[in-house]
Amino acid sequence: MAAMKEVIVGIDIGGTNTVIGVFDEQLKAIGQDRFPTLSEFPNRTDNPVSYLDELAKQVRKLLAAYAPESRLAAAGMGVPGQVDGGKGMVYDATNLGWDHVPLARLVQHRLNCPVFIEHDVRTITLGEALAGAAKGRKDVICVTLGTGVAAGIMVNGALVAGSDFCAGEIGHDDVQGLEYVCNCGKVGCLETIASAPGVVRLAREAVGSNSGETLLSDSPEGITAHSVYLAAIHGDEVAAGIFRKIAEALGQKLSTAVALLNPEIIIVGGGLANAGSVLLTPLSDYLFSKFPAYRGKLEIVRSELGDAAGLIGAAHHAAKRIGRI
Ligand SMILES: [Zn+2]
């Protein structure tokens, strides 16, 4: 009798949706689905029972549909929060209302397989390093620009979590000259501009201050990060200037990271990465103006896996932890 096939489940928990995927022995995706993340917020909890029951139900449904004859070898999860992957603990996930949740153990009970968790920006980084833009690379920085900003750091093939599991929280490092109040309560954090809401904020401000003729003044209320991008690629100087300002603020932070870590590649992901060269060209220009010797050595690229990076990374994280890769 042939040995039973094994599958791995990847789980990417987002503030809005949770995406789950089944992966075969070669870590190829064979099926995926999503369901709304039931936030416990504003009541903080250390045991989000209704969410975890729903998660287990959805995983079982997915396995029955795509891998009915297979054995579940492990599950990997990416979580937006302060995560101790070694202990399987989520100390804090503000947007989910989670506080000291022993997540790996709680999910393990429900799925009857080993469960490994990690901060989502780190699973994204692992996904890009093992199956995406940084395939085969060992020294990687992956920065995600979405509603917030965070960076995943890989040094010599190992993800860096930091002493308090907060490594890479670059979004809350302040930028000189910025005075916007951040959601975290501090003033001038990078993510007050280098994020989708940040683009809108800068665009509205540019329109209000009459910084020059711009397509954006046609409908100031309807401005989105995407409309600013569209204006920029149509030659709108004010819109392009917004992306240059963001690229420079991000570049300042990343240049320190480059000096400290000497990465081979910097990957830019998250929704704002869709701006492509509008953002990446001024970012590269800035970094190579600071480090001319790295031109031709350090690569600065857009995420290859896009929205799927977290899911693919979560599955690879589990596969790595059980020694399959
Ligand atoms: Zn902040």
Condensed to tens digits (0 to 9), the pLDDT of residues 267-321 reads 999 999 999 999 999 999 999 999 999 999 999 999 999 999 999 999 999 999 9
pLDDT band at 42 (very low <50, low <70, confident <90, very high): confident
76-86: average pLDDT: 97
Q: How many whole angstroms from 81 Cα to the centroid of ligand 1?
A: 14
What is the predicted pLDDT for the residue at 97?
92
Q: How many whole angstroms from 242 Cα to the centroid of ligand 1?
A: 20
- Helix or strand run (H / E) with residue 268: strand 265-269
pLDDT band at 221 (very low <50, low <70, confident <90, very high): confident
pLDDT band at 1 (very low <50, low <70, confident <90, very high): low
Q: For residue 235, what are the CA distances in angstroms to 214, 231, 242, 280?
A: 10, 7, 13, 16
- pLDDT tens profile 56-70: 999 999 999 999 999
Record the tokens describing residue 25, joined without a space.
């022995």
Q: How many whole angstroms from 250 Cα to the centroid of ligand 1?
A: 14
Q: Distance (Å, rounded) from C-alpha 176 to C-alpha 302?
A: 26
Q: How many whole angstroms from 184 Cα to the centroid of ligand 1?
A: 4
Q: How many whole angstroms from 191 Cα to the centroid of ligand 1?
A: 7
**Would you say the pTM of this structure is higher than 0.85?**
yes
Q: How many whole angstroms from 179 Cα to the centroid of ligand 1?
A: 11
Taking each helix axis from N to C end, the angle separating 237-261 and 225-233, rounded to the nearest 10 degrees, works out to 100
pLDDT band at 200 (very low <50, low <70, confident <90, very high): very high
Q: Residue 77 pLDDT > 60, yes or no?
A: yes
Q: How many whole angstroms from 25 Cα to the centroid of ligand 1?
A: 41
Q: Residue 254 pLDDT > 60, yes or no?
A: yes
What is the predicted pLDDT for the residue at 124?
97
Q: How many whole angstroms from 74 Cα to the centroid of ligand 1?
A: 35
Q: How many whole angstroms from 199 Cα to the centroid of ligand 1?
A: 16
What is the predicted pLDDT for the residue at 58?
98
Opening angle at CA 106, ends 102 and 107, nearest 5: 120
Count of CB atoms situated within 10 Å of the CB of 315: 33
Q: How many whole angstroms from 151 Cα to the centroid of ligand 1?
A: 14
Q: How many whole angstroms from 63 Cα to the centroid of ligand 1?
A: 40
User: Could you identify the residue written with the tokens 């003033």?
Assistant: 187
Q: How many whole angstroms from 148 Cα to the centroid of ligand 1?
A: 9
* pLDDT > 70 fraction of the chain, expressed in percent and rounded: 99
Q: How many whole angstroms from 9 Cα to the centroid of ligand 1?
A: 33
Q: How many whole angstroms from 210 Cα to the centroid of ligand 1?
A: 28
Name 276's Cβ contacts closer than 8 Å, sequence gap at least 6.
Answer: 302
* pLDDT > 90 fraction of the chain, expressed in percent and rounded: 91
Q: How many whole angstroms from 236 Cα to the centroid of ligand 1?
A: 30
For residue 17, the cross-strand partners are 36
Q: How many whole angstroms from 289 Cα to the centroid of ligand 1?
A: 27
Q: How many whole angstroms from 233 Cα to the centroid of ligand 1?
A: 30
Q: Distance (Å, rounded) from C-alpha 104 to C-alpha 116?
A: 6
Q: How many whole angstroms from 183 Cα to the centroid of ligand 1?
A: 6
Q: How many whole angstroms from 147 Cα to the centroid of ligand 1?
A: 12
Q: How many whole angstroms from 177 Cα to the centroid of ligand 1?
A: 15
**Average of per-residue pLDDT values in the chain:** 95
Name 159's Cβ contacts closer than 8 Å, sequence gap at least 6.
Answer: 118, 122, 125, 126, 152, 153
128-132: average pLDDT: 97
121-136: average pLDDT: 97
81-101: average pLDDT: 95
204-225: average pLDDT: 90
What is the predicted pLDDT for the residue at 139?
98
Strand arrangement, sheet containing 265-269? 158-159, 149-155, 140-145, 265-269, 299-302
Q: Distance (Å, rounded) from C-alpha 306 to C-alpha 296?
A: 24
Identify whether the C-beta of residue 61 lies closer than 8 Å to the C-beta of residue 55.
no
What is the predicted pLDDT for the residue at 219?
85
What is the predicted pLDDT for the residue at 147?
87
What is the predicted pLDDT for the residue at 15?
86
What is the predicted pLDDT for the residue at 153?
98
- Look at residues 280, 278, 270, 259 and name the one whose alpha carbon lies nearest to residue 310: 270
181-188: average pLDDT: 94
What is the predicted pLDDT for the residue at 2?
65
